[in-house]
Each structure stands twice: as C-alpha cells, then as structure tokens.
C-alpha cells in the first residue's frame, strides 16, 4: 500500500488487481494489432522520432540497475511525462508474464502505440485511472500482472 499525498491509505488490493487485468488485456490486444515496441533501445528510437504515436510505456521495476541503465530509465520516464505518455510500472516478477503476452525476449521497456483507426474504451479508462492515481501518489504505484 502507498500513502496518498493527503495522508490517506489507498485500499489497493482490488484496484491493483483491476489495473493488472486491464494491462494484461491491453497487451493482448496491442500485440494482436501489432502496436507494441519492446526493448529499451527500440523504445528510445521510436520516442525520438514519433512520440505522438505512443499511448503507454510499461516499465518493469528492476531490483538492481547499473548506473547507466538507471539514468536511461529516469530520462525515459521524464520524456514520457513531458509528452503525456502514461507510465505503467509493473513488478519485476511480472517480466515473464509480459514476455509470454508480447512474445518478445526483451521486455525492459514496452511501448503501446496509439491505434490511428480507433481508441479502445479500455485504453481511455486505463489512461484516465493512471493519470488520476499517479497524481495522487507520492510515488507512482507499481502493479502486478495476473498469472494466466
């Protein structure tokens, strides 16, 4: 549980589970529509050229980073915030689940692109919740993805 900025405690169990399920569903849909970029370097390249095409940035919270990788992640998060890209932090234990969902070996960073033809209600709702929750927390929440 995280403390909210006003000092209240968030009843996080149900909320975290709902977000985890929504992220899992979104990854399934985005994978099927070929709207995912996996890996830190490919993500940085895409953000340099087409930041407006990115809707979400999923970052597993590693327990240990070397200093160079840590700096890259901090800059990536700052870039996403500047360009209004919602950041979804997930537990490092969720990496295997993410790899199963997106079918990619490097899941150090996952970008979900906008669908230019339509936007899903799920995407709108998840974006709204994340922005509301991230503005309420002293530090952004870290979500756990559900097992299969």
DSSP summary character for residue 147: P
More confident residue, 5 or 49: 49
**Quick check: 114 and 55 in contact, CB under 8 A?**
yes
Q: Which residue has the tokens 């199963």?
A: 100
Q: Is 115 helix (H, G, I), strand (E, B) or coil?
A: coil
pLDDT above 70 coverage of the chain, percent: 80
More confident residue, 138 or 53: 53
- Sketch the domain layout of the chain as residue ranges: 12-143
Is a pLDDT exceeding 90 seen at residue 47?
Answer: yes
How would residue 54 be classed by pLDDT, with cut points 50, 70 and 90? very high
According to CATH, what is the number of the domain 12-143?
3.30.1330.30
Is a pLDDT exceeding 80 seen at residue 138?
Answer: no
Is a pLDDT exceeding 80 seen at residue 62?
Answer: no
What pTM was computed for the model?
0.77
């Amino acid at each position: 549980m995280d403390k909210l900025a006003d000092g209240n405690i968030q009843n996080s169990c149900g909320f975290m589970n709902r977000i985890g399920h929504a992220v899992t569903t979104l990854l399934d849909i985005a994978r099927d529509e070929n709207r995912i970029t996996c890996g830190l370097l490919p993500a940085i390249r895409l953000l340099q050229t087409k930041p407006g095409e990115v809707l979400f940035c999923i970052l597993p919270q590693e327990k240990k980073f070397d200093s160079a990788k840590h700096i890259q992640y901090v800059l990536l998060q700052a870039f996403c915030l500047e360009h209004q890209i919602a950041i979804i932090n997930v537990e490092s234990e969720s990496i295997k689940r993410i790899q199963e969902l997106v079918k990619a070996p490097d899941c150090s960073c996952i970008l979900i692109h906008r669908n230019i033809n339509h936007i899903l209600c799920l995407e709108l709702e998840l974006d709204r919740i994340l922005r509301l929750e991230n503005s309420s927390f002293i530090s952004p929440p870290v979500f756990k993805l559900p097992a299969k």
